Structure 1
Amino acid sequence: MLQLQMPCWISVWLALWTAAATQVVAQAPPRLPTEIEVVRDIEFGQGGGRALKLHLVRPKELPTEPMPAIVYIHGGGWTGGNRDGGLGHASQWARRGILGASIEYRLSGEAKFPAQIEDCKCAIRFLRAKAKEYHLDPDRIAVCGHSAGGHLSALVGTSAHLPELEGKGGWPEFSSKVRAVCAISGPADFPTWGNEAHPAVRGLLGGLVTEKPELAALASPVTHVQKSTPPFLIIHGDKDDIVPVSQGRAMHAALEKVGADSTLLVVEGGNHHPYSPETGKAMNEFFEKHLRSKAEKK
């Protein structure tokens, strides 16, 4: 029987598309705990001439002191997903007294890079601008994301010193700097990803990595690390067949090289969605360490 061999780039594209489609299904709004509330569809800025929105998830009974906050950035290969994708994570954070914000950003079918990072940074500036209104501490904002969201989270964490990535979405008088970063299964160095014809990367950059070397470097978090880069928790499965674990290792190595605070958790046998009780515990401990005030830790 004749067996047809599928070209490598097609098989990779199918794997990525399947992962993105699975994530969209998983992004159906979860049943949320009764002790928290969701404030939906808050406009945080403008991107490409349209409104950008986020969901806020917070305890119904607010604590006395302003809360730390975590911004969740959804995945989906920069081609899919939406702000509903972070409600599960944000609800767990809200139960621990941390405000969660699940944001949208322009997908690559609508706009090419750097639109995506501009929108993410705009959301952080918005939250800092509205800190008093939302009862949050502007000095304790972290970011977390998976896959494409892991990439954008890492780029948020490494690019506070790059005005060319801030965009013009709003709130320019406020900083997009964050206190801590959790990047899960995210690309970190596009030139070394391995398959330069990767459809999702080509869609993000508007061309091959070799055709857009400067843009690919600008989009790579490893390019921008400094000693002052905030603490990172990098989570990656060693069996990830979409974004190889070498990307997580590269991000960790770049941070360590400049003396920045970085923790790498490689999940043995973990795929592109390396979630487990171990990763949940690591995330909770990481955010408790870097977001809680000294008074709250007593």
Structure 2
Amino acid sequence: MNFWRIKQQLIRRWLNIPRGIVHLRNVEFTRGQEYQLKMDILHPTKLPKQPMPVIVWIHGGAWREGNKEQGLKRLVAFARQGFFCATIEYRLSHEAIFPAQIEDCKCAIRFLRAHAQQFHLDPQRVGVWGVSAGGHLAALVGTTQDIPELEGHGGWEEYSSSVQAVCDWYGPTDFLKINDFPRKVDFTSEASPEAALIGGVIEANPEKAAKANPITYINPTNPPFFIIHGENDLLVPLNQSQLLFDALTKVGVEASLEIVKGAGHGDQKFDSPILLKKVENFFKNHLFTW
């Protein structure tokens, strides 16, 4: 056995990738940018006859940290069931301010559509799933399907970045109202994650904040949303998901809000098999065609 194969096996064990799952690491999805961004891909070794529906994972980390490998554990179970799964990088706030982050997420989706035949995926069945800052970006992907100025220039511009389902786990949705609820982070300071993201204090930059808010772009053509938030979240207040849910349902978008009783920000209660089964059912209901 050669060194490369041994290395790959060690990486799979470290990342806990089981047999029967193909793991493609560090697939570049941007072109012509200063930052060459990458994704990891998971799909079943035995491909189904029909092209696979897609789930794109967006990691959290307050837009200033985190990595794509954080999504692999969540996605393995979906790859086993016939989903094509991708967990993606995006530029962090110390690398570039908003809208760089949403531009990168949209570029990744366009890249997958551009390579649908190569990857045996269904370009008409794409879902997005994000946690915390990634939940914010997932929600923003879902509400900005017709906003050309947020597409960026990362490549594959002839393809759509729209999605057919959004799962948002405790993501910020309205920066201008995030301070209206009990929390242990001062979202008004210059050091806040939101200020770093938009390049200025929220209250002094309402237009920039509004541009980064998923709620700003809600309209009746948005895809179905499944929103999940901890009852006792003191980092991203529960009002953020409640506001998103109310705004979506007001215009007739299919949406559901699951409040995890007693849960804080992304704690172990989110590993509940019952909760994960609900996420699975949501994506299957909206992305599976067989």
TM-score, length basis structure 1: 0.87
Which residue number corresponds to residue 279 of structure 1?
Answer: 275
CA distance in structure 1 between the aligned counterparts of 2:42 and 2:14, rounded to whole angstroms: 12
Question: For residues 159 and 190 of structure 1, do their structure 2 counterparts lie closer, same or farther at Cα, with a shift above 3 Å needed?
Answer: same
Runs of at least 4 residues of structure 1 off by over 4 A?
none
Distance 2:20 2:32 in 1: 33
Q: Distance in 2 between matches of 1:277 and 1:34?
A: 22
Q: C-alpha separation between the residues in 1 aligned to 2:264 and 2:120?
A: 37
3-state SS of the aligned residue for 1:92? Answer: helix
Comparing 44-53 with 159-168, greater Cα deviation is found at 44-53
Q: Answer yes or no: is 1:30 the counterpart of 2:15.
A: yes
State whether structure 2 residue 63 is matched by structure 1 residue 70: no
Aligned to 2:205: 212
**Partner residue in 1 for 2:247:** 254
What are the residue-to-residue correspondences of 1:143-292 with 2, within 5 Å? 143-194=128-179, 195-197=187-189, 199-273=192-266, 274-275=269-270, 276-292=272-288
Looking at structure 1, the residues matched to 281 and 273 of structure 2 have their Cα atoms a distance apart, in angstroms, of 12
CA contact (8 A) 2:164 2:224 kept: yes
**3-state DSSP of counterpart to 2:29:** strand
Q: How much does 1:37 deviate?
A: 1.4
Post-superposition shift, 1:50?
Answer: 2.2
User: 2:104: which partner in 1?
Assistant: 119
Q: Number of aligned residue pairs: give it.
A: 267
The answer on whether the counterparts of 2:135 and 2:170 sit within 8 Å (CA) in structure 1 is yes
Distance of aligned partners of 1:29 and 1:174 in 2 relative to their CA distance in 1, 3 Å threshold: farther
1:277: Cα distance to partner?
2.0
Q: Secondary structure of 1:123's match? A: helix
Cα deviations by residue, 1:198-247 (Å, 9 ceiling, x for unpaired): 61111101111122211110100011111110000000001111001110
Matches of 1:181 and 1:251, distance apart in 2: 12
Contact 2:32/2:155 (<8 A) preserved? no
Q: Which amino acid aligns with 2:85?
A: G
Range with greater deviation from structure 2 (172-181 or 270-279): 270-279
**Structure 1 residue matching 2:201: 3-state secondary structure:** coil
For residues 139-186 of structure 1, what are the alpha-carbon distances to aligned partners after superposition, in whole Å with 9 as ceiling and x for unaligned?
A: 001000100000000000000110010000000100000010000010
Unaligned segments of structure 1, at least 5 residues = 1-27
Distance 2:73 2:32 in 1: 25
What is the distance in 2 between the residues matched to 1:109 and 1:151? 18
Question: In the alignment, residue 252 of structure 1 is paired with which amino acid?
Answer: F
Letter in 2 for 1:87: L
Give 3-state SS (helix, strand or coil) of 1:88's partner: helix
Percent identity, aligned pairs only, is 48
SS of residue matched to 1:72 = strand
CA contact (8 A) 1:106 1:115 kept: yes
- Quickly say closer, same or farther: Cα 1:179–1:74, change in 2 above 3 A: same
In structure 2, distance between residues paired with 1:146 and 1:50: 23
Distance 2:139 2:71 in 1: 17
SS class of match (2:221): coil
Distance 2:88 2:31 in 1: 13
Structure 1 pair 113/46, CA: closer, same or farther in 2 (3 Å)?
Answer: farther
Counterparts of 2:160 and 2:150, CA distance in 1: 12
1:80 corresponds to: 65
Residue 48 of structure 1 and its aligned partner are, at CA, apart by: 4.8
